Amino acid sequence: QAARLAADHSAELRRYRPVDLVREFDRSLHREMDFTHEARHAAQIAANMAALDWLVIPKVYTEWSSDGLCVQEFIDGIPARQVDRLDAAGCNRRLLARRGALAAWKMVLEDGLFHADPHPGNFLILPGDRIAMLDFGMVGRLTRARQEQLVQLTRAVVMRESDACAAVLAVWSDGIRPDTEALAADIDDIISRYYDMALADINATALMLDVTALLRNHDLTVPPDIALLIKAIITLDGFGRVMDPGFDVMSEAEPLLQRMVRRRYSPSRLAKSLGLRALGFVDRLYAPPQPGEGARTDHGVDARLLEHLADRFERLGYRLVQTGITLAGLVTGGLLLAGKVPPSWHGVSVAGGVIFTGGLALAMVGLAEGL
């Protein structure tokens, strides 16, 4: 109820989609309370990361586990927070930081299933500078379409194509068309600030906060999976700096990003995409008209947006009328009571009491509907 109230009455809070955030928080809590989800996440991530022989994912014993109990392999290692013990054991902290970032970026950019809370407490350091990753209760998922958007954004930033960046971000506008020229100008400003910097000199946290501010200023909603990704990157940056104060999480993403860009624009991928688009075009020719077609007006305005605005104006008009009647009842009833206008009962104006009570009841009803 509080989230709906915030969305209805605050344009600033509405940008954060509070109702969707509460729903996502609810789903996340229920997933974390069901240990069968954690067991599946651990098994899937272990399979995805099998090629990294220095990364250890604890085995889950499913035959002894349930929704309320997760039995895992015991891992004996040094918590990543205990830097003094790592130094005493002769661990290479710079290598550990790079390996942790490499594992995280592989999950995000290649697998689409990533650890959403990679803080130092969820890492144990093993002999040979190996890393054990723990606690898969909170994970994030990126669809193939979302990964494609991230690759397009990366290419556009590298090529300094602000318009292309704006086109991708506009997809996150939740049906509201942003001012693309102003958006592209602000994107170009951010790119200019970071473009001439070496990748190792870029502060990942500052960059993510700049991007978040950009989305907020242009009323672009942050999808829940992207919000979780931003949070994971900032958390991972903190882990890397515990291991190596000069570490930069972005530098470890460069090889994977280059590999994804090459894969996206390879001739075989292009031929396959053209073939699928041709088949899709033929299917649309033979498909019957869909009920949702023609959802835009003749002037190119989204009909769903018009319906939403009309509903909001209707609710606003109803509340204004209700407020006017309420105030009239309270003021009129108060005057009749103060003047003791007859007929009266025990010195109290009957008409004034009835009218004032009715106004008070309307006020309570309006308050209840607002909440």
Which residues are catalytic, by number?
A: 117
Q: What are phi and psi of 289, to 5 degrees?
A: -60, 140
CB 137 within 8 A of CB 37: yes
CB within 8 A of 159, min separation 6: which ones? none
The DSSP output letter for 289 is: P
| Chain mean position to CA 9 | 22
CB within 8 A of 303, min separation 6: which ones? 295, 296, 297
> Hey, what amino acid is at 367?
L
Q: Which of 324, 155, 142 is nearest to 224 (CA)?
A: 142
CB 206 within 8 A of CB 63: no
CB within 8 A of 270, min separation 6: which ones? none
Using CB atoms within 10 Å of the CB of residue 142, give its burial: 0 to 12 exposed, 13 to 18 middle, 19+ buried: buried
In terms of C-beta distances under 8 Å and separation of at least 24 residues, what long-range contacts does 185-191 make, across chains too? 186/214, 186/217, 186/218, 187/162, 187/214, 188/160, 188/162, 190/214, 191/157, 191/160, 191/162, 191/165
- Distance between the two ends of the chain, CA-based, in angstroms? 7
Q: Which of 240, 210, 241, 208 is nearest to 227 (CA)?
A: 208
DSSP assignment of 196-248: TS-GGG--HHHHHHHHHHHHHHTT----HHHHHHHHHHHHHHHHHHHH-TT--
CB 323 within 8 A of CB 366: yes
**C-alpha distances out from residue 163 to 168, 188, 222, 290, Å:** 9, 9, 19, 32
